[in-house]
Amino acid sequence: MRALVLIHRWLGVAFCLLFAMWFASGMVMHIVPFPALVENERVAGLAPFSPQGVAVPPRDALRLLEVHKAWRLRLVGISGTPVYISQRTDGTLAALDAHSGQPLVVNDALALASARMHAQTRGLDYTRATVVAPESHDQWTVPNGFDAHRPLYRVALGDAADTHLYVSSVTGQVVLDTQRVERAWNWAGSVVHWIYPTALRKHWSAWDTTVWWLSLVAMIGALTGTALGVVRMNRLRAASMSPFSGWMKWHHLLGLGCAVFVLTWIFSGWLSMDHGRLFSRGAASYDDRMWIEGRALAVPDLPQWDGFAAPVREIEWFAFAGQVVMRVIDGSGGRELLAGAQRTPWLTDASIVAAARALGKSCTLARVDEVDAYAARAVAAGAPVYRIRCGETWYHIDGADGRVIEKLDASRRAYRWAYQALHTFDYPALNARPEIRTFVILVLCGAGLAFSITGVVIGWRRLKRTLR
């Protein structure tokens, strides 16, 4: 018992502020998430262009980029110039000027012009826009999803909202936007919650190891405290609620009242850093993609294409179920998929069935609705999500663009409940009632914060006595 007391006491002194920070920042980040350029903002920032005069057809674009195989090829307008962007099968990107046939060179001038065009198309004030700096990493671009675009040009629009746009040095496209209020709240939210300072987070392995161990030790502190609280409760006299007084009494009672939530929240928070340690990652392998998509794009797969007369915002070619599909976002933002003679807004059931058959004869198909226990979100609003179920392995397919959203084996489905449900209250019943879900999260995190503050006071007093 003495050892348990000492472990909890000194882990509490070391981690009480961290616990308080996690609960407080958890409330903030539920209201103000980490900055991201969501799909509707991305599409709204794509300036319509006429592909009719594109000099380089898509087949020649892959050849000129010296890309032997690609997952996808896109055609977009960047600062008034049509540009091909290829996503290679190794995840890297390459860009080509569709007029000159030369590799795209992104410099300060192009980055500024691209940001201004994006801002103008979205109705943002860009009259005072300036390039701040090309940076490999800053606080808002540390996620690994930006690795293929580094370094990034940060363009300050100089508008009332102090909007910053980040432009890829590879493709010339805007890949992120942030605003002053969003950035300020995130310093009190995601940055501290995820222990996300740029100096640490840009080294992914070091950050991953640091936060994993901190979370594990914090969980041990919570477990020892719960055990001690239960033992003390068992020794209570009938007329008393706690053998302690003052701050210790409040710590004891709040700890008992919050024990289940605190333990499950800290445990699930630790699991957020799992990254394949105990559970599978949920990402489709190269072989999975080849079975579902049927092929990677190669030069002979693409048409000798003459373009459209009507303005478009984006054209993308990709393979699905062995067939090359062309996805078009027109000048008004409408979407259409062209596969052979078919023109549909989303992938058809027949094409998903063909992909399921390629995975195996026993694979079945279903649509995933919003109240499904394993619901997934398509990139475009209103697009269906399909589930291909092959025994114990499931694949979720985005009906808007054919991407494999996630691969769910038994391990990943267990992770969905152990992490997402316990940590973010991602339960179908609560998701259908977002106001109630927000209320539950704020109340529980508020209780956890109050409990943590009692620990901060007790820890500070213990530390002062020890240092005298």
Tell me how far apart the 2 most distant CA atoms of the chain are, in Å. 88
Q: What is the pLDDT of residue 305?
A: 66
Positive or negative torsion for Cα 366, 371, 373, 379:
positive
Interval 446-465: pLDDT, tens = 999 999 999 999 999 999 88
**What count of residues does the chain have?**
468
**pLDDT exceeds 90 at position 201:** yes
Q: In the prediction, which pLDDT does 116 show?
A: 98
Alpha helices (H) in 2-88, listed in sequence order: 2-31, 39-44, 58-64
pTM comes to 0.94
In 3D space, the residue among 75, 118, 117, 119 whose CA is nearest the CA of residue 97 turns out to be 75
Give tens-digit pLDDT for 137-150: 999 999 999 999 99
Work out the angle between the directed axes of helices 2-31 and 204-234 (0-180°, nearest 10).
120
Q: Is 418 exposed, middle or buried (0-12, 13-18, 19+ CB in 10 A)?
A: middle
Place 52 in a pLDDT band, splitting at 50, 70 and 90.
Answer: confident
Alpha carbon 254 to chain centroid, angstroms: 34
Pick from 286, 307, 296, 295: nearest CA to 84: 307
Q: Render pLDDT for 6-43 as a digit per residue (tens, 0 to 9).
A: 899 999 999 999 999 999 999 999 999 999 999 999 99
**pLDDT at position 242, please?**
85
Q: Where are the domains of the chain?
A: 2-32+198-279+426-467, 39-186, 286-408
303: burial class by Cβ within 10 Å (0-12, 13-18, 19+)?
exposed
Contact 119, 162 (CB under 8 A): no
At 27, give phi and psi (nearest 5°).
-65, -40
Cα–Cα distances (Å) from 321 to 35, 152, 244, 444, in that order, read 34, 35, 67, 46
Q: End-to-end alpha-carbon separation of the chain, Å?
A: 26
